[in-house]
Every structure is written in C-alpha cells, then in structure tokens.
Amino acid sequence: MQIIVTKDAEETREAVADAITDQIAENPGSVLALSAAPEALAVYDVLADRYESEALDFSRLAVFNLGEYCGVQATDADSVYTAMRRHLYDHVNMNPEHAYVPEGMNDDAAAVCDGYEARIHLEGGIDLVALPLGSAGELGLNVGGTEFSKETLLVEEPRPAYTMGVGSIMEADQVVVFANGSDMADIVRDAFFGPITPAVPASILQFHPDTTAIVDEAAFESCFDLVEGDDCDCGCDDDECCHGEHHRNGECCGKQHH
C-alpha cells in the first residue's frame, strides 16, 4: 500500500482527481467504480472543472457506482445516479448508457446482485475503484462484519441497499481510498496499520497489490509514529524524514514528524 499524505482536504481531492485523470489518460476505455458519498462528489466537481481545460474524454468510460439504496429509482432526487449527474455526468461527455447503478427498485436481490456482477465482468472488470474510507472503516456500504469474499450484495444496515461487495472491490486492478480530518485519525490507523479483520472492512486493502491511500495530515496524525525510522525510499539520509512510502503528491513529503 502506498500512502500519500496531503496538506488538507482540498489537496486530497486534487490528488484523487489526479489518480482518476491519469487512469482515463492511460486508458480512455477504462472501467471505473465510484462512490457517491459527499466526499467523493467533491472530487467529481474537480474532474468536471478539469474537463475542458485538460481535454479529458469520458465518452468511452464505463462507470459502476458502488451502491444504491433499496426503493430508490434512478430518476429520484436522492438517487445515486442523480447525484452523479449533478456533479459529473451532466458536465462531461459521459455516455449515460455506460453509467451503471444497482436497481434499487428491484426487490429480487439475487437478480440485482448477480446481474451487476455479470455486467462488471462483461465490461472486462474494474480498472480503478475510488472511494472514501468510512468513519468506521466501511468500504462503500459494507459495514463491519461483512465477509471479505462477498461480491455485490444486499445489506440491511444502516438501511437496506445494494452494494458492491468487498470481494468485488478487491478484484479491481487499482484501489484509491481517501480520508480527511482528525476525526478519521483512529480509523485510518486501524484500517491501514491494524489487524486485517472483517470488523474493519478497509483493513483488507493491506492485502491488495495496488492500493493508494490518500489522507490529509489531520487524518494521518495517529500514524506518524508508525512510520518513523522505516527504511527511506527517497534517497535521503535525514533521520527525521517521513520515510517509507509516505509521500505528498507522489514525492517524499520531507516533513519532520515528532
């Protein structure tokens, strides 16, 4: 796992947007899995602002949202699809036929879950999933105790919803997970440095071969002591360097942590 430590929430949003932009530039036909949580919607605002200035092309993308609440249809004002439209799709050249969300109005859970997984595989699998870390270590709507092997599933708490499972997320080629604020400090420590346990779903990302965690300094404040003294990969001889794979904007932050 690579950990990028940013200055603040704004810098985190820019860094997550950079990761998505890089993926689109590398493969315009990428398959993305995206969250519609408020923290993620702020990232899409950045992407929408970049759309024309950076000549980004969304027309060949396939986007799978991580979940949808049961009893919600795509046209509802509070639906995931509506949120994605407002913050991203309406501002870029996204093909709406390639924007996928679980069918919240379908009460046949097996059909919804199996169909969503089948569509993911039909599109060739997920290239990149980007999502915020939940306040209790959730991934998407997967709360503590969810089996790591689960693919798309129906969850009952905190309210009934269909969500891409931890197993589906782990099958993605690349995962970008992000967090901001001192209130996230303890769960960042548990998720990225603690035991791997279903009680903290995000902890399984420690086993993913290509995960980047992007967190601001406040969210990382409980972890600085864990990385001091690691073998530094930045080539410096400074014992007070951040060390290891903890970088700011892809380069060693050089920050002194005491």
pLDDT single digits (tens) 189-227: 999 999 999 999 999 999 999 999 999 999 999 888 887
Length of the chain: 258
Residues of the chain with CATH 3.40.50.1360: 6-218
Q: Is the dihedral of CA 27, 43, 184, 147 positive or negative?
A: negative
Q: Tell me what the mean pLDDT of segment 103-129 comes to.
A: 96
- CATH code matching the domain that covers 6-218, chosen among 3.30.590.20, 3.10.180.10, 3.40.50.1360, 1.10.357.10: 3.40.50.1360
pLDDT confidence band for 228 (50 / 70 / 90): low
Give yes or no for a contact between 130 and 20, defined as CB atoms under 8 angstroms apart.
yes
Do 40 and 132 touch, CB atoms closer than 8 A?
A: yes
Section 57-72 average pLDDT: 96
Nearest Cα residue to 99 out of 59, 63, 48: 63
Q: Give the pLDDT confidence of 15-63 residue by residue, as tens digits.
A: 999 999 999 999 999 999 999 999 999 999 999 999 988 889 999 999 9
**CA dist., res. 116 & res. 229, Å (int):** 45
Q: Any residues with CB less than 8 A from the CB of 22 and at least 6 apart, and which?
A: none
Instruction: Please compute the mean of the pLDDT values over residues 101-130 and round it to a whole number.
Output: 96
DSSP state of 128: E
Q: What is the pLDDT of residue 95?
A: 96
Residue 44 to residue 83: CA distance in whole angstroms: 10
Say yes or no to pLDDT of 116 above 80.
Answer: yes
What's the pLDDT tens digit per position in 136-188? 999 999 989 888 988 999 998 888 999 999 999 999 999 999 999 999 999 99
Global confidence as pTM? 0.86
**pLDDT at residue 31, as a whole number:** 98
